Homo-oligomer: A and B are copies of this chain.
Amino acid sequence: AAPKPKPKVEDGVFGTSGGIGFTKQNELFVGRVAMIGFAASLLGEAITGKGILAQLNLETGIPIYEAEPLLLFFILFTLLGAIGALGDRGQFVDDPPTGIEGAVIPPGKGIRGALGLKEGGPLFGFTKANELFVGRLAQLGIAFSLIGEIITGKGALAQLNIETGIPISDIEPLVLFNVAFFFFAAINPGTGKFVTDEAEED
């Protein structure tokens, strides 16, 4: 008998099943861009004391509907991306288990081997799906801080009552940690691999 046709997965743009829209890989890329952008805007605000919109010379302290249409469109795009509405196709799956030899850390020559870490693996244990989650957090952070700055005229940090406009050495450690975390997560590839909905048929 002919194989039963595989049902179409509803993970395209706005929950459609036509195979149109971002894959999880596309989303992860957008998320990485968001991580870098969010980290850079926080760092820029900490140093200059101006929110990202003020840094870009855009008008702030105005009602939301008076903001630039392009800016509002960008916020909408970012929010829809964060909830996976622009498409969320395919799956991230764990790397296949490597058997007993994968469970033993081979002796290495570098610092990481000396610390009992694998020489070749990822530095910390984020999977690609974890990375996608961090990217969505960054997208939410961008949307909230932009909307907040449009209305209040204050940057993301100033809205949280964090001191800004200071030398890097005086920046709150928590802010620096966040900036470093997002920068690092943006370039950390993450374990696991992407499979399309169709690849499952094999």
Contact = CB atoms under 8 A, between A and B. Distances in A.
A191 B9 CA distance: 12
Contacts of A36: none
Given A64-B159, A83-B84, A85-B137, 18 more contacts: A8-B94, A10-B94, A10-B127, A11-B91, A11-B92, A15-B92, A15-B130, A15-B132, A17-B94, A63-B161, A64-B160, A79-B140, A82-B82, A83-B133, A83-B139, A84-B84, A84-B88, A144-B147
**Band of interface residues on A:** 35 or more
A14 interface: yes
A42 interface: no
Interface string A3-35: 001011111001111000000000000000000
Contacts of A144: 147
13 contacts: A5-B96, A5-B97, A7-B93, A7-B96, A8-B94, A11-B91, A16-B127, A16-B130, A64-B159, A65-B160, A83-B83, A84-B136, A200-B200
A84 B94 CA distance: 18
Interface centre among A65, A84, A144 (most CB of B within 10 A): A84
Interface of A: 5, 7-11, 14-17, 63-65, 79, 82-85, 88, 91-97, 127-133, 136-137, 139-140, 144, 147, 159-161, 192-193, 195, 200
Contacts of A131: 15
A129 B79 contact: no
A177 to B, nearest CB: 18
A7 B94 contact: yes
Contact of A9 (B14, B85, B91, B147): B91
